[in-house]
Amino acid sequence: RSHLAKEYSLPLKLLDLLHSHSWLYADSEAKAVFTKQTLYGETCEAFVLDEIGNFTTTHTLPSEATFWVTTTGEIERAMIACNPIETLSILLIERENNPNNFATVPPTIYIGIERASQLPRQFLQELDTVIIAIAEDSLLAQNVLALLPNAEIANPQSSWNDIWIQLIEQKQLIEREQLTYKQNSQHQKQRIQEIELD
């Protein structure tokens, strides 16, 4: 929990929510495990995050099991990423970029996969918008596009998690600058009042 919060800037509240649904837990070696489920809620596999930031997967039977989270409402849109960290980062970026009106973002399913065959194709083909949020030149993005030719591609310049971390750092910098400005203004105002009192 603390590793995911520190290393990937994932909010503790989100991690606790995932854990409460058994979608995230620590294995016996204290590695983060993100469960993969079918759209019917059957847990079939898992993404396991190692100490150096690489994902491995547990394989049982081939299935349409992915790591996924949704916003509320009838799903109109899908965002497909290459692992759970990227998936959660996209969700957080969209929420951060729409702080006062996240409700205007269409109800979305955020999906993390390692292979295109995991995707619930029939479900995705019925959606208004499917966005492949994976580096365009990757084999995974090309395989997903072959299965979902009408999908759009959002080609990140770096990882979505890097973008999320930069966004958070910029926000914190602005907040610190605003706090310093407010403190300086209050100090200046107090000095003026003291001068008037003399």
pLDDT the model gives residue 44: 82
pLDDT the model gives residue 105: 84
- 17-49: per-residue pLDDT in tens? 999 999 999 998 889 999 999 898 888 888 999
What is the distance in angstroms between the CA of the first residue and the CA of the last residue of the chain? 56
Whole-structure pTM value:
0.84
Please give the share of the chain, as a percent, with pLDDT higher than 70: 86
Average pLDDT of the residues in 59-67:
75
Tell me the pairing of strands 32-37 and 43-49: antiparallel
- 44-58: per-residue pLDDT in tens? 888 999 888 889 888
Tell me the pairing of strands 129-132 and 77-81: parallel
Q: Residue 184: pLDDT above 90?
A: no
